[in-house]
Each structure stands twice: as structure tokens, then as C-alpha cells.
Structure 1
Amino acid sequence: MTDPTWTISELAQEFSITPRTIRFYEDQGIVSPSREGRNRIYHARDRTRLKLALRGKRLGLQLSEILSLIDMYDGPGDSVAQLQHYLEVLEQHRDALKRQREDIDLTLAEISRQEKTCRALLAARSAA
């Protein structure tokens, strides 16, 4: 029985991404398909690594963080060290997102103040 394989088009369709995105991940060393002539053949390992990369991207992780996490999965498995590292990455990312949210909230509050001032000035000029 042979292991399942996928073409670049099949993976692109499955994950709703473009073949160009998959080639980018190939350039970054995340997937490494075999070749049959000019065609790329992706194996289960490639599919799993691509899935993890896309999940990391959805979480907003940087490419270096994604690579680090994916490389952990090529190791011996769910070791304590791997899980602790993953937890640290998630905590750092959560903290960064919280800081961004605070910055966004402050910016939105300032925009609201400026809008209120601008509307009051417009109302005063319209009444005059």
C-alpha cells in the first residue's frame, strides 16, 4: 500500500490558498515535495507541515516562530520541552496582541475625540 500523495493544485484547493503560497512555503523549507519530472509531489509530512504553517499564520505568528514550532513536530514528539516552548510562544504572542489592542483602543479614542471636536466646529460654523 502506498502512502497518499497530493499535487500542488490539490493542496491549494484543499487549504483554499494559491499554488504560489505553497511554493513560498517550499522556498522557506516548510515543505519539500519530491519531483516527478516537472511536477511536485507532496507527501503526508508536507501536508501536515503546510497545515501547521497555515495555522500559525492564522494565529499571527512570525515565519521564524512557525518554522520553530513545525520543526518541533519533526522531533521525538510531544515532549515536555516542546510543549513548554510552544506555551511560551503562545504567551508571548498573546502579550503582543494585547499591547496592540491597547494601542488600537487608544488610537480609536483619540479619533473619537478629534471627530467630536471637528463636528462641534462644523456645527458652530454652520450656525453662524
Structure 2
Amino acid sequence: MSETRLSFKEMCAKFDVTPRTLRYYEYIELLSPEKEGRSRFYGPKELARMTLILRGRRFGFALEDIRQWLLIYEHEGTEAQMREWIALADRQMGELREQKKQLEETMEELQALRDETQETLG
């Protein structure tokens, strides 16, 4: 395995993604591997992008948000990308706080209903 380039299969294994996922990321232009005939190779730039894509997905960002964020780096540079990252992170934190609040309310409601049912049983 080359230090600087991974094959399609190696890329799937390294990032624990399915071939379908990797092809989809290429299709929506998140990744642009080098192509040699029918083979695809992923260099350091694509490895870094994949790391960022998967981190963004773990934090709950939409793929389109990730794509737009990656494009900012290419067109406007690091500082603009970092500013956009802060805005995206702030927005996502708000959404996650709301989801957490709703989940806590649901858990409280479920616990109360469970406790009522337990009391009924005696």
C-alpha cells in the first residue's frame, strides 16, 4: 500500500465505509480521486477531505453543508473556511440542544407512564 495513494478498496477499508458510500461521495463531488483507466486512487488531499466528511457526518451535518464548506477552502482559503465552520458549528449546536431537550422530555414522559403502569399493577 502506497503512503500517498490509496486504491478504492483501501480507501473503503481505511475509513470503514461501503463502496456505495464512497461512490456516492464522488458522485456528489465531495471527493475527486485520480483515475487511471478503471482504477481510482486517493491522495493526501482526498484522505484529508474524507476525514473531514466523516467528522462532519458524526456531528450531524448534512452532506450539502459539508460540500459547501469544503468548497469555501478551495475558493476563499482557510480563514473563510474557519469562519464558516464556526457558523455551521453554532447552528448545529443549537439543533443538537433542541434535540436533547425533546429527548429529555420524551424520556420523562415515558418514565412517568411506566411508573403509573407499575403502580396500577400494585
What is the TM-score with the length of structure 1 in the denominator?
0.85
Comparing 69-78 and 4-13, the one that deviates more: 69-78
CA distance in 2, matches of 1:44, 1:29: 17
Where does residue 117 of structure 2 map in the other structure?
118
Q: Residue 74 in 1 paired to residue 74 in 2?
A: yes
CA RMSD between the two structures: 1.6
Where does residue 50 of structure 1 map in the other structure?
50
Give 1:47 deviation, angstroms.
1.8
Where does residue 33 of structure 2 map in the other structure?
33
CA distance in 1, matches of 2:76, 2:8: 28
- 2:78 counterpart SS class: coil
Q: Residue 14 in 1 paired to residue 14 in 2?
A: yes
Where does residue 89 of structure 2 map in the other structure?
90
What is the TM-score with the length of structure 2 in the denominator?
0.88
Where does residue 99 of structure 1 map in the other structure?
98
CA distance in 2, matches of 1:7, 1:78: 28
Identity within the alignment, %: 28
CA distance in 1, matches of 2:120, 2:51: 53
Q: CA-to-partner distance for each residue in 1:55-100, whole Å, 9 max, x for gaps?
A: 1111111111111211122234322x33222101000000000000
Runs of 4+ in 1 over 6 A off after TM superposition: none
Question: Based on CA coordinates, which of the two structures has the bigger radius of gyration?
Answer: 1
Q: Which runs of 5+ in 2 are unaligned?
A: none
- 2:32 counterpart SS class: coil
Q: Which runs of 5+ in 1 are unaligned?
A: 124-128
